Amino acid sequence: MPDLKYDVLGLGNAIVDVLARAEEDFLVKQGMHKGGMALIDEPRAEAIYDAMGPAVEISGGSAANTIVGVASFGARSAFIGKVKDDELGRAFAHDIRAAGVTFNTPPASDGPSTARCYVMVTPDGERTMNTFLGAAQDLHPSDVDPDAVAGAAITYLEGYLWDPPHAKDAFRKAAKIAHEAKRQVALTLSDAFCVDRYRAEFVELIRSGTVDLLFANERELLSLYQTADFDTAVRALRDDAKLAVVTRSEKGCAVVTKAGVETVPAQRVERLVDATGAGDLFAAGFMFGLARGRDHQTAARLGVLAATEVIQHIGARPAVSLKALAQQNGLQV
């Protein structure tokens, strides 16, 4: 087995988030599905930008947010994702490296601009996303560094990678390298609409053992098994998955294994500001705990802690050291 270089390595779409507050009627007027993620082209991206209110640009991308969270716990982490050599691409690269994450994917010199996601945050904290994938969809298998993947305890992949054609191949290549090195592969389902697009393929990834650890929220899980009943979906998940964690907002989370289901409660939230990144940061805490040999309950508590921190401010990355926060809450890191 290769030497361990990283606790977690993430593979995902490298995206800069453009966040703005919006009322419900803005979503209706723009034909947006509240709480979902829609893929858009560049003209639509420009039209949304022109219509939205004052915005804040923050580096994002689901897996990238998770990996920054892992680094905030004090772990060794790396990210593979494609940006263009443009202003937003340079900002993304700077931000993720400044967070302590290894990021060595060469930027594209031509082709579409760096990906961006327009995030509308309604007064209830729910986020509605419109994503122009741009340069992110040019992530190729050749961008996957075999030594980095083989040297990571967990390789983490986002469901959104199933949209760009070459990224899917990069996903499969990374999973194969990880398993050949006797490492673990984790997948987040990313979005209920993403599950709608690729349900059969995601189920096959889980059943075939390509994925060792699955992250889903309740809506994504119900979509995966096409049922409105949570318990029915969990029973199906127990049959299919080695290990899975289902987040349920204020109900906490459920850790699902062949042996049974363990629940961990949510933490009290002073003020829900922006739900963007809650699932991403939960995954960060859980995988950090797993990579450091913690039991599932402790790993889930670390996940809940990270998710609770991120939803109390704008942006999908931690505003404080998660390592220090865990220590303040009596969690060993």
Q: Which amino acid is at 277?
A: G
Pairwise pLDDT comparison (17 vs 149), residue with the higher score: 149
Angle in degrees, CA 230, 37, 41, rounded to 5: 155
- Residue 330: pLDDT band with limits 50, 70, 90: confident
Cα distances from 234 to residues 90, 158, 218, 244, 304, in angstroms, run 42, 21, 10, 10, 20
Pair of tokens at residue 74: 């004090």
Q: Mapping DSSP to helix (H, G, I), strand (E, B) and coil, where does residue 236 land? A: helix
Which of 148, 143, 181, 109 is closest to 12 using CA atoms? 143
* DSSP per residue, 271-318: -----TTHHHHHHHHHHHHHHTT--HHHHHHHHHHHHHHHTTSSSSS-
Around Cβ 229, how many Cβ atoms within 10 Å? Answer: 10
What is the tens place of the pLDDT at every residue in 2-17?
789 999 999 999 999 8
Taking 90 as the threshold, does the pLDDT of residue 40 lie above it? yes
109, amino acid identity: S
| pLDDT for position 58 | 87
Q: Where are the alpha helices (DSSP H) in the chain?
A: 24-29, 42-51, 62-72, 87-98, 146-150, 165-180, 192-207, 218-225, 230-240, 278-291, 296-310, 322-328
Query: Where do the structural domains in the chain lie, given as residue ranges?
Result: 6-12+62-112+134-328
pLDDT at 125: 83
- pLDDT at residue 315 above 80? no
pLDDT at 333: 76
The closest alpha carbon to 120, from 269, 283, 275, belongs to 275
Percent of the chain predicted with pLDDT > 90:
80
pTM for the full model? Answer: 0.91
237-252 confidence digits (pLDDT tens): 999 999 999 999 889 9
Report the alpha-carbon distance of residue 318 to residue 312 in Å, rounded.
Answer: 10
Q: What is the homologous superfamily of the domain 6-12+62-112+134-328 according to CATH?
A: Ribokinase (3.40.1190.20)
